Amino acid sequence: MSETPSVELARNVKRIGHLDIPGGGQVVVQDGYAYVGHMKPPHGTSIIDVSDPASSIVATTSGLAGSETSMIEVPWGGFMWPT
């Protein structure tokens, strides 16, 4: 985890964790997992275990070739469209 900048970015907010996800866009959090649909390369979806926000880790990724679009069904009965 990188050092927190000394400049104030927000009030009444405390950073407890950080994870760089390139191309991240649409984010849905459910039952301890964050589902990130990538808007820019790498295209696809990342599933991140956020049950311990201070030590979040990428559980798995699902990549797409080029800039194809795919619909991903999420466990709680919805859908994501990473682009």
Q: What is the pLDDT of residues 29-53, one digit of tens each?
A: 989 999 888 777 777 888 999 999 9
CA of residue 55 relative to chain centroid, distance = 14
Q: What is the pLDDT of residues 55-68, one digit of tens each?
A: 999 998 887 665 55
Question: What confidence score (pLDDT) does residue 48 get?
Answer: 92
DSSP calls for 28-78: EEETTEEEEEESSSSPEEEEEE-SSGGG-EEEEEEE-STT----EE-TTS-
Q: Which two tokens stand for residue 39?
A: 């808007």
pTM: 0.64
